[in-house]
Each structure stands twice: as structure tokens, then as C-alpha cells.
């Protein structure tokens, strides 16, 4: 999360807010806020969805100890 926040601040002058939901979502719900230059939200969203979210939230099942 720290890296995700840093990236959004440095690259896009943005912030991230994580909110829990009553039930699991099939995929992250990303809602942009503020003023975005034409085309920049699409690029930022691609980076967020393909690179940053998978790095921030990963599954530790492979580390299960018997």
C-alpha cells in the first residue's frame, strides 16, 4: 500500500483510499476523483490494475505451514 500511495502521489498527484465492503468483490472497484487531463486516467488505471494492486494485495496461501 505504501508503494501504491507513493506511485499515485509522484506520478499522478493523486491519493488512494481503501474501503472495506460487506461482501467480497470479484475485482477492485476503482473510482477516479478530481480533474484528469484527457487520456491520463486510462494510463493510470492500467498501471494500477495490472501492476500496483496485484503487488499491494497478494495471496499468502503458498506459505501455509503444516
Cell of 41: 486516467
Whether the per-residue pLDDT at 41 is higher than 80: the answer is yes
Confidence (pLDDT) at 64: 61
Please compute the mean of the pLDDT values over residues 40-57 and round it to a whole number: 82
Compute the Cα dihedral for 26, 27, 33, 36 and give only its sign.
Answer: negative
- Lookup result for grid cell 477492485: 28
Confidence at residue 50, expressed as pLDDT on a 0 to 100 scale: 84
pTM of the model: 0.56
Instruction: Tell me which DSSP letter residue 2 carries.
Output: H
Amino acid at each position: 500500500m505504501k508503494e501504491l500511495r507513493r506511485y499515485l502521489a509522484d506520478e499522478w498527484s493523486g491519493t488512494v483510499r481503501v474501503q472495506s465492503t460487506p461482501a467480497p468483490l470479484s475485482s477492485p472497484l476503482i473510482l477516479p476523483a478530481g480533474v484528469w487531463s484527457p487520456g491520463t486516467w486510462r494510463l493510470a488505471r492500467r498501471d494500477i490494475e495490472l501492476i500496483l494492486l496485484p503487488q499491494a494485495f497478494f495471496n499468502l496461501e503458498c506459505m501455509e505451514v503444516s
